[in-house]
Amino acid sequence: MAAKSYYILFANYTHGLALQALLKREGLESRIAPTPRAIQGELSCGMSLLVKEEHIEAVRACIERNQAVHHSIVEMENQIQPNRNRFC
């Protein structure tokens, strides 16, 4: 079964960077990534925070606890293997 990733979507970069700063303060891992076109919906383009499957529940709890501004959290199966040979 393919691994899953979770994209946290935002209305703008400021909201995204604010949440990333919050997650960092709480020791939770996330990475800024371009939002996949398939899940952008009405937001269309922009940044998202990419969270690994093993961290998503802690991240959700943090968002809930702090009432952090965000648009939505979308689950996606990884289309590309992250440990691929980058020069293949």
Partner 1 sequence: MIYLDNAATTLRKPQQVIDAVVNAMTSMGNSSRGTHDQSIQASMAIFQCRCKLMQLFHAPSPDRVVFTQNSTEALNIAINGLIHAGDHVITSDLEHNSVLRPLYRLEQEQNVELSFVPADKKGCINYDDFEALIRPNTKAIVCTHASNLTGNILDVKRIGKIAEKHGLLFIVDASQTAGVFPIDMAEMNISVLCFTGHKGLMGPQGTGGLCIADHVNIRPWKVGGSGVQSYSKTQPAELPTALEAGTLNGHGIAGLSAALDFIAEVGVDAIHQKEIALMQQFYDAVRQIDGVTVYGDFSTTNRCAIVALNIHNYESSAVSDVLAVDYDIATRPGAHCAPRMHQALETTEQGAVRFSFSIFNTEEEVKSAVDAVRCIAQQQ
Nearer to partner 1, 14 or 72 (CB): 14
Nearer to partner 1, 25 or 57 (CB): 25
Q: Write down the least CB distance from residue 24 to partner 1, Å.
A: 11
Binding site for partner 1 (CB under 8 A): 10-15, 17-18, 21, 32-34, 42-47, 69
85: which residues sit within 8 A by CB, 6+ positions away?
none
Residue with tokens 């940044």: 47
What does the block give as tokens for 86?
């980058």
Q: Write down the least CB distance from residue 43 to partner 1, Å.
A: 6
- 24 vs 46: CA distance, rounded Å: 20
Q: Residue 37: CA atoms inside 13 Å, Cβ hemisphere, count?
A: 0
Q: Write down the least CB distance from residue 40 to partner 1, Å.
A: 9
